[in-house]
Structure 1
Amino acid sequence: MDIKIYKDKNEVAVQFSAYFVEQAAGRDVFHVALSGGSTPKIVFDVLAENFADQVDWSKVHFYWGDERCVPPSDDESNYKMTVEHLFSKIDIPNENINRILGEKEPNGEAMRYANLLEIDLDRVDGIPQFDLVILGIGDDGHTASIFPHEIKLWNAEDHCVVATHPDSGQKRVSINGKVINTAKEVAFLVTGASKAEKVEAVIEKTEGSDVYPASLVNPKSGRLIWFLDEEAAAKLNQDPS
């Protein structure tokens, strides 16, 4: 586990963008699963505005780790957010964007997306392998859209699952934990004081932390990297990078 702590969310965005450029360099193809949320929004802005000319976007293929079951025009859509903050600002071929169809019936869409991953990605022990999975962590310890009350979905047989938000009841399509842990690289992007308690629990494996899906992220490759700001890392015994 590699833990990188930076001054604020803007510095996290700059440093993650540099990491992304490095990861994408020299590859014939680069398969990436994106995350939604407030931190990726800032990261996508910085990546598009300051680093776009350093990436051969024709070789980058984008997917999502999870998506809310809403139309792509809805403000809650992770896809819409990514279009606004990244895709609209870079020269990316349309065929390289593989969105989860949030407007479709959730169970059927989870099955379709799982099949898409099987077709597009190499497989390790039958599980599709991303080059990079980007994750966040919720205030409740969820990651992707695997929530604590549905932690059994982590090891679901299907590559993609239908999850239910514990408060709103909103349906979401999410990759499962096996897909996350099969990725060549996994990167957490976490900023803000509200995340500090769960960051401490997950990284330092405090008592009871195993109820948080984020604590189950443990890629077989051993390549797990955390990009944190000082607020999110406030409870850790770590020196800033």
Structure 2
Amino acid sequence: MKAPPTHAPHTRVFHDPEETAGQLAGFLLALIGKRLAESENFFMAVSGGSTPLLLFHRLAHAGGRIPWNRIHLFWVDERCVPPGHPESNYGQAQQVWLQKITMPRENIHRMRGEDDPVIEAQRYGREIENILPKKKGLPAFDVVLLGLGNDGHTASLFPGDNDSLISEKSCLAIRHPQTGQNRITLTPRIINRSKIVCFLVTGKEKAAPVQFILENSPSSEKFPGSYIRPEEGELYWFLDAGAAGRIPA
């Protein structure tokens, strides 16, 4: 069963994917500045896919406004392919974003998609435990950035795989239910400890799962995205007009 929401989600709707990604980039810049005024480092986890690339492009052009040497970057999920493969989430981020900024190599914590997925999931879980600051004795990201699939999946958490949704582990190896591709993913257990979680969702084909999840209806339980409910943090939905098309005005 899902945990009840601690705080009502913040929903922000914009005209198109480009504006939505730009607004999230501005939100992140402000958040990073605020956190780094209070803490030595900033810890974030990002997703793959086409929509985040719009965000990465804007972050790449943020210039000197972000002290990249104080940011530690993790991934929410990864396909089990080498980093140079076109489907690699890390590889896509590297091409669009990371190669255009100066971030210390040791601050980039990629999932090693070329390694055995079970062993790598265990290693990545330990890395998170060792590096992230603790909140009530447990590791917590400053921000986690998520997407949402047409089927309501998020990260590499897919409908029907309830064991992954309630796992006590921070990181798991899973198989895509249709393609059989091996993947590595963070779980709701670690994501829900984050101070802030942001969904970036665009396209009218996402409107139905967005509606069900935000309404917290009984039907929402079939969508893994509905299991993302920060325990003490804040949840934001950055939506374009298409994705928000079924939300009551």
Q: Which interval holds the TM-score relative to the shorter structure?
A: over 0.9
Give the unaligned 5+ runs of structure 2: 1-8
When the two structures are aligned, how many residues end up with a matched partner? 237
Coordinate RMSD, CA, aligned: 1.2
Map 1:160-179 onto structure 2 (within 5 A): 160-179=171-190
1:5 aligns with 2:13: yes
Using structure 2 for the length normalisation, give the TM-score: 0.92
Shift of 1:54: 1.3
CA distance in 1, matches of 2:86, 2:150: 21
Shift of 1:155: 1.9
Distance change >3 Å, CA 125–CA 148, structure 1 → 2? farther
Could you tell me the percent identity over the aligned residues?
Answer: 39
Query: Does the Cα contact within 8 Å between 1:136 and 1:188 map onto a contact in 2?
Result: yes
CA distance in 2, matches of 1:116, 1:9: 33
1:42 aligns with 2:59: no
CA distance in 2, matches of 1:218, 1:82: 26
Specify the SS of the correspondent of 1:140: coil
Map 1:1-241 onto structure 2 (within 5 A): 1-25=9-33, 26=37, 27-49=39-61, 51-124=62-135, 127-238=138-249
CA distance in 2, matches of 1:125, 1:215: 24
Segments ≥4 residues shifted beyond 4 Å: none
Q: For residues 143-193 of structure 1, give each alpha carbon's deviation from its aligned partner in whole angstroms, at most 9, with x where no partner exists.
A: 111111212212212211111111100111111111010001000000111
Using structure 1 for the length normalisation, give the TM-score: 0.95
CA distance in 1, matches of 2:163, 2:211: 23
CA distance in 2, matches of 1:110, 1:140: 24
